[in-house]
Amino acid sequence: MATRSRTSFQKRQKEIARMEKQRDKLARRAQRKLAPPEPEGDGLEGIEGIEGIDGAEGAQEPAEPTDAPTAVTG
């Protein structure tokens, strides 16, 4: 019979933990609702070295006109 009360106790503890988690979640939601909204952006402001990058990663600078291969006509 001790096993029955033990499972009931475990179920009760699980239920209490669930209710506490739900309460914490509601408190976090309320806190977010009351807090001023954060400025929206692309999220890259805090990354060092990102200032000089234009476009996608791995993009190369255009070649100088003297470095470009010339077409041979003939």
pLDDT for 36:
78
The reply to whether 71 falls in a domain is: no
> What whole-number distance in Å separates Cα of residue 34 and Cα of residue 21?
20
The reply to whether 54 falls in a domain is: no
pLDDT for 8:
93
The reply to whether 17 falls in a domain is: yes
Tokens for 25, please give them. Answer: 């979640």
Name the residue with higher pLDDT: 5 or 1: 5
pLDDT for 37:
74
The reply to whether 44 falls in a domain is: no
Contact 45, 39 (CB under 8 A): no
Residue 68 confidence (pLDDT) above 60: no
The reply to whether 2 falls in a domain is: yes
Q: Total domain count for the chain?
A: 1
With left for phi above 0 and alpha for psi between -120 and 50, is residue 55 left, alpha or beta? left
pLDDT for 1:
54
The range of the structural domain enclosing residue 28 comes to: 1-35
The reply to whether 14 falls in a domain is: yes
